[in-house]
Amino acid sequence: MWDTSGTAWERFDAVVIRSCWDYHTRLGEFTAWLDRVGQVGVPVWNPPALLRWNADKTYLRDLAARGIPIVPTRWVSRGEATSLAQVLAAARWSEAVVKPAVSAAAFHTWRVSRAEAEAAATRFQALVATRDVLVQVFLPEIERSGEWSFCFFGGIYSHAVVKRPRPGEFRVQEAHGGTAQAARPGPALVAQAEAVIAALPGPTVYARVDACQVDGRLCLMELEALEPSLFLDQEPRAPDRFAAAIAATRLHPRPGVSSSPKP
């Protein structure tokens, strides 16, 4: 694990980050660890600057500025004096999803209607008191047709799945009863996912584009370049593609460093 004490990171040829599942609850510690690993000269993939950018969902604003269609979002800064009812009324949304700007696995993520906004005021205020928050319009496509996840290795499209929530739920994560099934998107959807990857501020060994299809076009929900499930069990050739992407970074043992395990 990234926080295992006593690990001699300088012994490794490279670190490919895959399972930092608790980074969102310990962001300061995690970014400090990234700094320490970088200081000993070990290549980190994805690159630390990209990981820091991707750890905060305000990256969606950057992608929107680069022409990527994102789910309509209202940004509420930590400590901001606004109510959930005011946010929904100003946006003219009947339903929305509330989530922290730094979160994973649907952490503190919930669905609310405008009629429920007053009752949820205390919950919303408590969240805003401690962190930046996103309020996003609820897309009914999640329930009707699910959410696409496009997996990329070395910036190249590999495979895709469609994730669906269980009945009565909107969260598609397996921990919340969601399912994922291999799917083959048409060339137009793949091209739109590729445009998201092209808009990133740095290279990737792995990345996942999560989006809903709205009126025939992808609407970006999230771009995962930090700790995504890559659904390697859904595509038989995916593990080899991932390994090839890692190898293509030309990671070789440094002079004076003996052969060492790859995390």
Distance CA 255, CA 185 (A): 45
pLDDT of amino acid 82: 93
Q: Are domains 73-137 and 141-247 of this chain identical in fold?
A: no
Which token pair is 242? 């991932």
Q: Is 213 left (phi over 0), alpha (psi -120 to 50) or beta?
A: beta
Domain coordinates of the chain in residue numbers? 9-54, 73-137, 141-247
Render pLDDT for 83-112 as a digit per residue (tens, 0 to 9).
999 999 999 999 999 999 987 665 678 899
pLDDT at 252 over 50: no
Which token pair is 154? 């070395």
Distance CA 71, CA 64 (A): 10
pLDDT of amino acid 260: 32
Q: What is the CATH number of domain 141-247?
A: 3.30.470.20
The whole model's pTM is what? 0.87
Render pLDDT for 106-150 as a digit per residue (tens, 0 to 9).
567 889 999 999 999 999 999 999 889 999 999 999 999 999 999
Per-residue pLDDT band for 251 (boundaries 50, 70, 90) equals: low
Distance CA 143, CA 99 (A): 18
pLDDT of amino acid 105: 63
Render pLDDT for 43-64 as a digit per residue (tens, 0 to 9).
889 998 999 899 899 999 999 9
pLDDT of amino acid 17: 86
Q: What is each CA distance from 90 to 61, 122, 233, in whole angstroms?
A: 19, 19, 43
pLDDT at 3 over 80: no
- 117: amino acid identity, one letter: A
The angle, 0 to 180 degrees and rounded to 10, between the axes of the packed helices 27-39 and 48-55 is 170
Strand partners, 29: none
pLDDT at 226 over 70: yes
Peptide bond preceding 46: is omega within 30 degrees of 0, i.e. cis?
yes
Q: What is the CATH number of domain 73-137?
A: 3.30.1490
Distance CA 34, CA 136 (A): 30
pLDDT of amino acid 76: 95
pLDDT of amino acid 259: 32
